[in-house]
Structures are given as structure tokens and as C-alpha cells.
Amino acid sequence: MGDEQAGQSKTLVRGLSILRACATSRHGLTLVEIAEHTELAPSTVHRLLTTLESLEFLSVDTETGRWRIAVAGFEIGNAFIRSRDYIAQLRPLMTELSEATGETVNLAILSDERALFVSQVESGHMMRMVAPLGSRAPLHASSAGKALLAGSSDEVRDLIIDGLEYPELTVHTLKTQKAYRLEIETVIADGCAYDREEHVVGMQCVAAPVFNEIGEPICALSISGPSVRMDAERLRSNAQAVRRACAEATNLLGGQPPAHWHAYD
């Protein structure tokens, strides 16, 4: 039988089935395990593994004999993530969140060690808090910035925190790295981050991260409003709402929280 069957290349289908099998295993698979998963002969698996390794789609741990996704495989998967317009996908959910809380809802991403606001649903109140699209907020003094950092891996958090400066923007701003690290631990425990007039006097915010397929924070959703309306009780209520919305957004995008994030479990 040739390499063409029912309009499909058997060699290509077999190679992709091996990639899929390895992608589903966190710790990698041995040749025998791959053969079992794909129902292919070990000799066929060995031949295809050699080709996939040469093209950097797979790599093997020489000590354990386990095969894992390599850089080329990661690049293909990452291109899929980048290609999706998650901002448009999350717009209806942001609108629902704004209508439920009565406040402005922002979507922010991490950019140059700041929170960059790229989408917004404004509150219907005459008095409302609005961050211009394209504006950036410091990570140490914004709920979105704290949420994005708290959702990141330990390595990313440490790298960014060590490089941050802590300018005093209001009397409530966190002023030291030690205080900020303690704040991030609280964010992880609570599943959401607060800005209690730390960035702008008279404004309070609460935010939570949205995660992608590999457990990285793809963005954060925040609720912001004037302090005269967002008192302690409203802030707690809005915190519950934004946690639920971000858990729903994570599911909508096919994402999953990282191991250290238990709020969405």
C-alpha cells in the first residue's frame, strides 16, 4: 500500500499521531508507550521519531528515553494561540460583567513590565472610572498588573519583581519590593487582586487573570469604579464576580489555571 490512502498521507498522519501522543503527556513518552498510544509498530515509530527529532518537533531525554515536544512543536502551538482573537471572544463576557456590577470593565495584557489596557466596556453611570485604551498602569499599583504577575510562573514573577521600581503614586501605593511580594502572595491566595486607591486617589479596582492552554496569564479582566460607590462591601462583591468571569473566560478559551492557582478549580 502506498503513502496515499483516502486522500491522506499515511506517513503524515502517523507522524502527527505521534506528536499528539507526546503532547498529551506532561512527562513525555517512551518509544514503547508511543507505539501503544498510536498502535504503530515500534520500528515505524523509531523511524518517524528520528525524522521529527531532526526537524526539532520532538526531543528525547537520553537518560530516561522519554520523548517530548521540542521547540518547533512549541512554535506551531504558540502560533495557534497568537492567531486567535480572544479580545473579541471575551467582549460579550465583559459586557455581562459590566452590566452585572454597574462598573467599567477593562481587559489588560502584560507589556514592557506594565499592564496595557486593550479593551473596555464603560459603566453606564455618569460618574465612572475610565482608563484610555492604549494606556499603561504600573504593575505594583494596579489590580490588573498584580493579577497578571500573580498568575505567572515563579520564574517570571521573580524576574519582573526584581527589576521593578516602586514609585509612590498615592499615599496607599506599595513602596517596597518586600511589601509587593507579600501582596502577590495574597493575590494568589484570594484568586484576585485589588487596587485600593494605590494608582489614582478616588479609584478602586479588582482584577483576576485569564489563562491560556499552557497555564499562562493571557490577559486580566478588571472592574474599576469611584471609591464613593465601590465601598468595601461592593469591592468584595465585585471580586466574586470577576473571579467567576475569569474562570469562565479561561474555560471559553480552552485554557487551564497553573498548578499554583486554586481559585478556578
* pLDDT tens, residue by residue, 83-134: 558 888 999 999 999 999 999 999 999 988 899 898 999 887 776 667 777 7
Tell me, yes or no, whether 230 and 109 share the same domain.
yes
Q: In the predicted model, what is the mean pLDDT of residues 244-263?
A: 94
Tell me, yes or no, whether 92 and 18 share the same domain.
no
Question: Quick check: 3 pLDDT over 50?
Answer: no
User: Do the strands 217-226 and 4-5 form a parallel or antiparallel pair, or are they unpaired?
Assistant: unpaired
Question: Quick check: 4 pLDDT over 50?
Answer: no
Domain boundary among 33, 50, 79: 79
Domain boundary among 79, 111, 145: 79
CB atoms within 10 A of CB 176: 10
128-179 confidence digits (pLDDT tens): 667 777 788 999 999 999 999 999 999 999 999 999 999 999 999 999 999 9
Which residue, chain included where needed, has cell 499599583? 141
**CB 244, CB 223: distance < 8 Å:** no
Q: Is 122 helix (H, G, I), strand (E, B) or coil?
A: coil
Q: Is 262 helix (H, G, I), strand (E, B) or coil?
A: coil
36-66 confidence digits (pLDDT tens): 999 999 999 999 999 999 999 999 999 999 9
184-243 confidence digits (pLDDT tens): 999 999 999 999 999 999 999 999 999 999 999 999 999 999 998 888 899 999 999 999
Tell me, yes or no, whether 50 and 122 share the same domain.
no
Number of domains in the chain: 2
* Predicted pLDDT of residue 251: 95
Angle made by CA atoms 188, 241, 123, in degrees to the nearest 5: 120
* Predicted pLDDT of residue 183: 96
* Predicted pLDDT of residue 2: 42
Question: Quick check: 1 pLDDT over 50?
Answer: no
Tell me, yes or no, whether 208 and 100 share the same domain.
yes
Q: What CATH number corresponds to the domain at position 74?
A: 1.10.10.10
Note down the domain range covering 92: 84-252
Confidence class of residue 23 from pLDDT cuts 50, 70 and 90?
A: confident
Tell me, yes or no, whether 88 and 200 share the same domain.
yes
Tell me, yes or no, whether 120 and 70 share the same domain.
no
Can you list the positions of beta strands (E) in the chain? Answer: 4-5, 8-9, 58-61, 66-69, 104-111, 114-121, 136-138, 193-196, 203-211, 217-226
**CB 242, CB 221: distance < 8 Å:** yes
